Structures are given as structure tokens and as C-alpha cells.
Amino acid sequence: MEAKLIGLGVETFKLALYLSLPMLLAGLIAGLVISIFQATTQINEMTLSFVPKIIIVVAVIIFTMPWMMNMMIDYTIDIFNMIPDFLF
């Protein structure tokens, strides 16, 4: 019983990592590119780094939404199918 719960926790953390990874990578890459641009042009404008990152992360969320929803639905179905295993 405890092993099933630990496995469920591990799967939950994996799913959270898989779902957040595209947005985090997009923000990281956008921040790196913008920082290099700011360093080469010596433009130190805060909105120059903030607004493009927000736009890119929102675009990645919109682009990956079907994949994320399918992963969440599959995980939820698996959780509901596990309920009888945890009752007895």
C-alpha cells in the first residue's frame, strides 16, 4: 500500500515536471537571448526583458495546451482507476 502511494507521488511530480518544462525552457531561452541582446546593445530597459518573455511563454502554453490536456486527462483517468486498489 505504501509503495503504491509513493509511486503515485513520484508520478505526480513527473507529470508536474513534464507539464512545466516547455514553459520554463521557453522562458529560459528567451531570457538568455534577450540578455545577450541587451549586453551587446547596452540597452538596459526592464520591459524589454519582461514583455517578450511573457509573450513567448503564453504562446508556448497555447501551442502545447492539447498535449498538456491529454496528459492531465490520462493521469486523472489513471487516478480514478486506482481508487479500488487503495480502498482494500
pLDDT, tens digit, 9 for 90 and up, residues 3-47? 888 999 999 999 999 999 999 999 999 999 999 998 898 888 877
Average pLDDT (73-79) is 95
Is residue 15 within 8 A of residue 71, CB to CB? The reply is: yes
Q: For the chain, give the percent of residues with pLDDT over 70.
A: 99
Cell of 16: 508536474
For residue 1, the model assigns a pLDDT of: 79
Expressed as residue numbers, the domain containing 38 is 2-87
Write b or e for each residue in 30-49: b if 16 or more Cβ atoms lie within 10 A of its Cβ, otherwise e. beeebeeeeeeeeeeeeeeb
What domain count does the chain have? 1
Cell of 18: 513534464
Number of other CB atoms surrounding residue 26 within 10 Å: 19
Rg value, the chain, Cα: 19
Is residue 71 within 8 A of residue 40, CB to CB? The reply is: no
For residue 70, the model assigns a pLDDT of: 97
pLDDT tens for residues 55-65? 999 999 999 99
